[in-house]
Structure 1
Amino acid sequence: MRRPGLALALTASALLSACVVVPAHRGGYHGGGYAAEPGIVVDAPPPPAYAEVQPVMPYPGAVWIGGYWGWNGGRHQWVPGYYDRPRSGYRYEPNRWENRGGRWHLRLGGWMRL
């Protein structure tokens, strides 16, 4: 007796085993320094800075977190900025790309303890 469902599940499992899911970064807390994003090291430099239009502040004291060039689908892709609530005792460090020996590493920022 054949089990096409089992064969399909095993094939899908083998094909998907190399996939990496990276959640969208929306500024978490970090004790200090930049958080390294594992696996985002590329040969292509990021495009020039994007002139992002900052919308009107949605509430008093809101902090604008600027967008950055992320990496998705084998290319740089703009991740838009957003407003966030300030955090007492923290400052925001932006995401950035670092060139190390000709390879580009994405360093995610976040709320850093003062």
Structure 2
Amino acid sequence: MFKKILIAGLVAASFASVPLASVAQQRTIIIREAPPPQREEAQPQMRRGYVWAPGHWEWRRGQHVWVAGHQVRARRGHHWEADRWVERNGRWELQRGRWARGDRDGDGVRNRDDARPNNPNKS
């Protein structure tokens, strides 16, 4: 009985230590074909506590596929940097969207570089 419980615990622990979803999301994609132009999307009314992650082109099975924008839960003291393609030496690399530290007032200036990071009257 004890042996079965021990084995079950070890199996469960081994699966818990492998974050499969995050591994799949972090793979680097580098291709030679430029992505199509960015699509214009109608941004829906935002839910309280969420920010907009705009749509982007993914590379799947040898072709570009559009992934629609969506709302993601906001993180205090961070702003969302959208997925984007960057060209380097004739190759295109998909840089995944991520949370970056600080722009509390949304004026495009990082808090550490902003003389007034909490300015409600940004212009």
Kindly report which structure 2 residues correspond to 1:48-87, keeping only aligned pairs within 5 A, or say none. 48-57=37-46, 59-87=47-75
Question: What amino acid does structure 2 have at the position aligned with 1:42?
Answer: I
1:54-85 deviation line (CA, Å, top 9, x unaligned): 2222x224211101111111011111111122
Question: What amino acid does structure 2 have at the position aligned with 1:46?
Answer: P
Please report how far the alpha carbon of residue 113 of structure 1 lies from its aligned counterpart in structure 2 after TM superposition: 2.3
Higher RCO, 1 or 2 (CA under 8 Å, sep at least 6)? 1
Q: TM-score, normalised by structure 1?
A: 0.62
Corresponding residue of 2:118: none
Q: How many residues of Structure 1 are paired with residues of Structure 2 in the alignment?
A: 80
- CA contact under 8 A between 1:37 and 1:106: conserved in structure 2? no
Identity of aligned residues (%): 43
CA–CA separation in structure 2 for the residues paired with 1:41 and 1:66: 21
Corresponding residue of 1:103: 91
1:90 and 2:102 matched: no
For the aligned residue pairs, the C-alpha RMSD in angstroms reads 1.8
The DSSP-based 3-state class of the residue aligned with 2:76 is coil
Runs of 4+ in 1 over 4 A off after TM superposition: none
Query: What runs of 5+ residues in structure 2 fail to find an aligned partner?
Result: 1-22, 103-123
Larger C-alpha radius of gyration, 1 or 2? 2
Please report how far the alpha carbon of residue 96 of structure 1 lies from its aligned counterpart in structure 2 after TM superposition: 0.7
CA–CA separation in structure 2 for the residues paired with 1:95 and 1:43: 18
